[in-house]
Amino acid sequence: MFKEFKAFIMRGNVLDLAIAVIIGGAFGKIVTSFVNDIIMPPIGLLLGKVDFSNLFLNLSGTPYASVAEAKKAGVPTINYGIFLNTLIDFLIVAFVIFFVVRFANKLQLTKPAPAATKECPYCLSVIPIKATRCSHCTSELK
């Protein structure tokens, strides 16, 4: 059983998947930092010095200055600012993955197979590429 498990783990696609998950997790952290620390602050500044991570609806009626204070008090909140950050985070990751897959697909395009047939210049019938005489009109081919 150990040998079977080792053979399963050592297959290339399992290792590739494990590496992809690790790199994907690291890439996700980079994108999250990019959204939270670089993209959202200028957008918040343009919208009147708004901190999106601190936008929330307080469902208790008691006022709280931040999401952290409301969470500490155990108050139910709808954290739509954090959701907006996460949504932008997802869109950036999806956009990058789209371009990576698109680039990989372009690299994998194979050249078309060489033609196996040609057209007879006299009768326009399809004949093998190596033919020296047309099988339909019996014309000699160059």
Determine the pLDDT at residue 12: 64
- Is 33 found in the same domain as 100? yes
Residues pairing with 78 in the sheet: 57
Indicate the SS3 state at residue 132: coil
Q: Are residues 121 and 80 in the same domain?
A: no
Statement to judge: residues 32 and 92 lie in one domain = yes
Instruction: List the one residue out of 61, 63, 57 whose CA is nearest residue 80.
Output: 57
Question: pLDDT by residue (tens digit) across 115-125?
Answer: 889 999 999 99
DSSP lists the bridge partners of residue 58 as 77
Q: So what's the pLDDT on residue 38?
A: 85
Same domain, 71 and 133: no
pLDDT tens figures, 91-111: 888 888 888 888 888 887 777
Asked whether the predicted pLDDT for residue 4 surpasses 80, the reply is yes
Containing domain of residue 129, as a range? 110-142
Provide the token pair at 12: 């290339």
17 or 59, greater pLDDT: 59
- Asked if 25 and 83 sit in the same domain, the reply is yes
Element (H, E) at 58: strand 57-58
How far apart (Å, rounded) are the C-alpha atoms in residues 106 and 128?
A: 31
Domain count, the chain: 2
Residue 81 shares a structural domain with residue 135: no
Q: How far is CA 102 from the centre of its chain?
A: 9
The whole-model pTM stands at 0.55
For residue 140, pLDDT over 80 is answered with yes
Tell me the C-alpha distance between 142 and 135, whole Å: 14
